[in-house]
Amino acid sequence: MKKTKLIGLFSAIAMVPALSSAAEPAGEHPTYAKEVSRIIQDNCQICHQPGQIGPMSFTSYEEIRPWAPLIRLKVLEREMPPYQYDHDIGIQELKDDWRMSDEDINTLVAWVDAGSPMGNLEDLPAAREYPAVGEWRLANELGQPDHIIQSTPWDVPAAGQDLWWEPEVPSGITESRCIKAVETLPSAAAHGSTHHANSHFLTQDENGEWQTFGRLSEYAYGKLGEKVPEGACRTVPENSKVSWSIHYYPDGNAVPDDQVTVGIWYYDEEDNFDVAETYPQDLRLYMLDGGGDYLIPPHGKLMTQGFHSFDHPVRIDSWQPHLHLRGVAMSMEIFDPETGRREVLSQASNWNAGWNHSHTYEDGFQPLIPAGATIILTSWFDNTAANPRNPDPDQWVGAGQRTTDEMSHAWIAVTHLDDEGYEKMLAEQAEREQRTVAGSGGGQ
């Protein structure tokens, strides 16, 4: 951070009134005890607590009060909570959406502007427990995984350049099943140095040769996991192997015998899940860079695009952009040549490579793509000094695997439909929209 920015930050913090040891009357403004503490619990504490990745702890009023001006700034700029998905473009109905509501933002701003009062101590909520680093974050909702697979050990050095570890391990899967959810978990010790960890299944053909079956999971720093919606089946094959591609970027901590783990939750009879009534789903990597041959000049900018079509209708279940340090935004559009219609489905601006999210659409709101339509993916890069995450604007930057190189791709979970399923889902979406309009009085 530049010196001038630090001076401005400390000046803002210095303007906060001194901590009061006594409870204060609520008055007309929000208080920490009644409103703000609950907003912090819901949106901040999972990262801002001892042992977690947040740089400061937000578990008490005494810890939070000195940071009040910075909290105000970050939530107004929508940099925190870190979820780079635009509020006013594309589909807004998302599962596990980290974005703070306008109401909560306004409450926090009003609290800071009122001097960050404590309020009545009796209004404080009970302390909340969160998963520790190295624990399954989906476990609170789904319980422990039904099956886990680990990479073979690898010694991560404390310092050095980017490293890749690509072992193959038996999956231990004895029966083909449908995935309900999957989470890739770096070890607690190497959490900061595990840049990404991708995995895919290998199966044997009739000649005994191992070949790629399909992707199991993709992890990049900050990602929660992936859920497969009802009516779709992402298959785990029996008697398979898992091939790993793990990218480490040493962060100062040596970790001997490190292992990355993937956890799988299955659909079962308790979910009223009938595989015969499902459509196949897979997780696909879509490149935007024309084969990886591009250069961003020093103090320059760049836009890349990728175009993808299917010869059958599909449903998009989730969208996860991936860029590096010069990346600033990505969008996903659909162009239908039959109607000439072009529509933005999703856009993530103010990109931050430290937080990779799989934006999963709510059931019934997933984009339905007709056969022959084109998915358009667009990325923007900024290699100037105006990009606060740019480590060196004097460098030429090309596409590559290193952290300081650039990437331009998206991970998209695609459910493959037939014409009957596509038309049925279209009708269901149209009916839901009609009910929404009628319920809001729009039809009167």
Domains of the chain plus CATH, in order, are 3-123 (no CATH), 134-277 (2.60.120.230), 278-444 (2.60.120.230)
Higher pLDDT, 9 or 334: 334
Grade residue 292 by pLDDT with cuts at 50, 70 and 90: low
Please write the tens of the pLDDT for every residue from 179-220: 999 999 999 899 889 988 999 999 999 999 999 999 999 888
pLDDT computed for residue 383 by the predictor: 97
Please write the tens of the pLDDT for every residue from 399-444: 888 888 888 889 999 999 999 999 999 999 888 888 877 766 655 4
pLDDT computed for residue 325 by the predictor: 93
Please write the tens of the pLDDT for every residue from 332-380: 999 999 999 999 999 999 888 878 888 999 999 999 999 999 999 999 9
Q: What is the mean pLDDT of the chain?
A: 88
pLDDT exceeding 70 applies to what percent of the chain? Answer: 91
Inter-residue contact 298 to 401 (CB < 8 Å)? no
Please write the tens of the pLDDT for every residue from 142-180: 999 999 999 999 999 999 988 999 999 999 999 999 999
Q: Is residue 130's pLDDT more than 90?
A: no
Non-local (6+) Cβ contacts of 246 within 8 A are 151, 154, 164, 165, 166, 194, 196, 197, 198, 260
| Single pTM value for the model | 0.82
pLDDT computed for residue 262 by the predictor: 96
pLDDT computed for residue 304 by the predictor: 92
Grade residue 7 by pLDDT with cuts at 50, 70 and 90: very low
Higher pLDDT, 270 or 112: 112
Grade residue 84 by pLDDT with cuts at 50, 70 and 90: confident
